[in-house]
Amino acid sequence: MPNRSCEHALHTLAAMITDYLEERLSQTDRIRFEQHLSVCPGCVAYVDQMRVTIQAMGSKPPLKVPSSIEDSLLEAFRRWKNLNH
């Protein structure tokens, strides 16, 4: 887990990790991101854990979510999004 000094970086990491792992960051953002990783073993561990998780989940067949639950989740996400914007 990252130390307190990189708490902000962890939030940035969480927001950017998908783009980073899918190589969709701009060159500037990728360089900045990798510079942080070069000095933060906690964030490196976090990225490594995400890679393992993505690999493990990618080998599982998708589950079918009942439409009533899907609708409830979508509505909850929409409410959450509206509260945060």
How far, in Å, CA of 10 to CA of 19, rounded? 15
Question: From CA 43, how far away is CA 48, in angstroms rounded?
Answer: 8
Q: What is the pLDDT of residues 29-55, one digit of tens each?
A: 999 989 988 998 888 888 999 999 988
- Computed over every residue of the chain, the mean pLDDT equals 84
Domain that holds residue 12: 4-83
Q: How many domains does the chain have?
A: 1
Give the integer Cα–Cα distance in Å for 62 and 24: 24
Return d(Cα 80, Cα 85) in angstroms, integer: 9
pLDDT at 29: 92
pTM for the structure as a whole: 0.57
pLDDT top residue among 35 and 60: 35
Closest CA relative to residue 6, chosen from 31, 36, 47, 49: 36
pLDDT at 11: 67
Task: Label residue 71 left, alpha or beta by phi (over 0 means left) and psi (-120 to 50 means alpha).
Answer: alpha
Return the CATH number at 67: 1.10.10
